Chain A
């Protein structure tokens, strides 16, 4: 039994679609079997809400009079990118404030804008014939901006590491505080609710997929940075370590501060919790089988963050059911663990998205282009080397042109 995108969208449009969250779908599949669940259900919704450093917003301020070509730009003392056109900028969430350091950064500016607060814009420019002004100091709100959209280069990581610390000192990491001598473990995934764990080989999620981004309807824009589909996979084809990622885009003006929350990881830096959810059509039984996977069937790999190298020691895998239980076994020890990704908010996202699809007729879009899948060119590390030799013949070629 297979359903087409068109059939599913027609059922959504007529209000007849059966939509369940991934957790609810797993329950139906456990009771009725995957085959019956695939027949009964049209769309499964997912959600995740964890710190996602690779996020930020493009903003357009409009022109002042006289106009300025903004070079050095600061929003509430947080530097934003000046390398765009005169009054455009990109503000990355991890950028720390010049005056408050990591206690206030790009993520906090975006959260302040979302909460309707005015933000101080200061910029300097070179002063040119078309943009004579050299300085501006003013205040802006989200309503004042022409365009303001989130463009997050890497969100919704398909699985992540479980972090422990073998050293005898406390480590402050992007996965939170790691206590010495395997004193604790942290992890960051919504497990069975996570978008890419439900569609592990990217059959339904690709470029152009309509999704939930920080409370706004958005799109998957591209594969995310560091997308690595060649990571180790289990018998169900699901990666057991960090692998695929999504670049997502959405209107900041339609976003909700309840699904975009600034964060400071002490001793590490600024980040932002971003809510991402993707509705997945139940196209056939194969897809239904991965949608039905539970936390007991999904695993993550434990890495020793005490070794600050590119390849950290792999200490084996644990299931999300064990992680949710609050303690895992690592190297023969019982290690207490806690998440850094909110399951409570991930559930709200999956529920909201379910309402969007079922009640607000949020139809689905088939990928315009698939994401690179298993077997794609390998993910490359950065190797340090000297200046490469000039390519032979390059000068002659340009001389001919």
Chain B
């Protein structure tokens, strides 16, 4: 199975090779979607892990034991076309290029490129982009 996790690292954990433990101790395949980790500060990582259900659950228990805050990460992102006014502001903050303006100034949303960074969610002045968990 596959699960997307949103991890918050307390400052003292920022140096620990958490991902390596997921691979070696729990036989998981992690795919880091985004991470912001600096020594001595709170960090955040969104990682998609693939593996057996029991291994994922054991890994989550390990992460919590290590002092990380573990939450399920967004599993889907939706654009409410009724609310959207196609201003394009989401395209200005979408680094992976999942949201772009097309030939006729229409909004093109390519979900395959989305890394669930949520930048568009807070940038959208119409609150037309929503996440579901």
Using a CB–CB cutoff of 8 Å, the interface residues on chain A facing chain B are 49-51, 103, 176-177, 179, 183-186, 261-266, 271, 273, 326, 336-345, 347
Bound Cα distance A176, B126 (Å): 12
Report whether A340 and B86 are in contact in the complex, using a CB–CB cutoff of 8 Å: no
Given A261-B126, A344-B105, CB of A176 within 8 Å of CB of B93? yes
Report if B35 contacts A (CB, 8 A).
no
Q: Which residue of A lies closest to B106 (CB)?
A: A344
Q: Counting chain A CB atoms within 10 Å of each CB, which of B86, B88, B95, B119 scores highest?
A: B88
Given A261-B85, A343-B105, CB of A336 within 8 Å of CB of B125? no
Bound Cα distance A30, B2 (Å): 56
Bound Cα distance A363, B125 (Å): 35
**What are some 8 contacts across the A-B interface (CB < 8 A)?**
A49-B85, A179-B95, A273-B125, A336-B95, A338-B93, A340-B87, A341-B87, A344-B86
Report whether B127 and A326 are in contact in the complex, using a CB–CB cutoff of 8 Å: no
Given A177-B119, A263-B125, A326-B101, CB of A339 within 8 Å of CB of B92? yes
Q: How many positions in chain B have a CB within 8 Å of any CB in the partner chain?
A: 21
Report whether A264 and B127 are in contact in the complex, using a CB–CB cutoff of 8 Å: yes
Q: Which residue of A lies closest to B125 (CB)?
A: A263
Given A261-B85, A273-B85, CB of A340 within 8 Å of CB of B126? no
Bound Cα distance A352, B79 (Å): 26
Using a Cβ cutoff of 8 Å, how many contacts connect chains A and B?
A: 81
Report whether B87 and A339 are in contact in the complex, using a CB–CB cutoff of 8 Å: yes
Report whether B92 and A336 are in contact in the complex, using a CB–CB cutoff of 8 Å: yes
Bound Cα distance A57, B125 (Å): 21
Report whether B92 and A337 are in contact in the complex, using a CB–CB cutoff of 8 Å: yes
Q: Counting chain B CB atoms within 10 Å of each CB, which of A273, A336, A340, A344 scores highest?
A: A344
Report if B23 contacts A (CB, 8 A).
no
Contact of A263 among B88, B92, B126 (CB under 8 A): B126
Could you tell me the distance in whole angstroms from the C-beta of B126 to the nearest C-beta in chain A? 6
Bound Cα distance A1, B8 (Å): 70
Report whether A179 and B93 are in contact in the complex, using a CB–CB cutoff of 8 Å: yes
Report if B89 contacts A (CB, 8 A).
yes
Nearest 7 CB-CB pairs, A to B? A338-B92, A263-B125, A343-B105, A338-B91, A339-B88, A344-B86, A344-B105
Segment 76-124 of B: residues with Cβ below 8 Å from A = 85-93, 95, 100-101, 104-106, 119, 122-123
Report whether A264 and B89 are in contact in the complex, using a CB–CB cutoff of 8 Å: no
Report whether A326 and B86 are in contact in the complex, using a CB–CB cutoff of 8 Å: no
Could you tell me the distance in whole angstroms from the C-beta of B98 to the nearest C-beta in chain A? 13
